């Protein structure tokens, strides 16, 4: 059993185009990962989701920044990092 030659050529091409367009889309988590961590002068960050009029907001979330690594808001995924003054 064999497919016509034209079908054998077009099907893989369509598949490649679909793959390309699919990988160019980014999930919300990938987009949020491109936002640099927000620097906070203190041990506690306060996140309401909406910054500078962007976003719908969420209940106020207090994020402890005692760890060295940036901490993530569980609501909106924004990252916060403590600024250390020396």
Task: Tell me, by CB under 5 A, how many residues bind Zn ion.
Answer: 6
Beta-sheet pairing, 79-82 with 38-40: parallel
Range in contact with Zn ion (rule: CB under 5 A) among 10-18, 30-38, 39-47, 62-70: 39-47
Interface residue with Zn ion among 73, 79, 80, 82 (CB under 5 A) is 73
Contacts with 49 (C-beta within 8 Å, 6 or more apart), sequence order? 55, 56, 57, 58, 73, 75, 76, 78
Is 75 one of the binding residues for Zn ion (CB under 5 A)? yes
How far is the C-alpha of 86 from the C-alpha of 84, rounded, in Å?
Answer: 6
Report the nearest approach of Zn ion to the CB of residue 76 (Å): 3
Residues of this chain that interact with Zn ion (CB under 5 A) are 47, 49, 73, 75-76, 78
């Amino acid at each position: 059993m064999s497919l016509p030659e034209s079908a054998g050529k077009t099907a893989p091409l369509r598949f490649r185009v679909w793959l390309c367009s699919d990988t160019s889309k980014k999930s919300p988590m990938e987009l949020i990962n491109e936002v640099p961590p927000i620097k906070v002068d203190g041990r506690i960050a306060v996140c309401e989701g909406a910054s500078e009029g962007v976003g719908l907001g969420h209940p106020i979330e207090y994020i402890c920044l005692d760890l060295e690594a940036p901490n993530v808001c569980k609501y909106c995924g924004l990252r916060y990092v403590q600024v250390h003054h020396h």
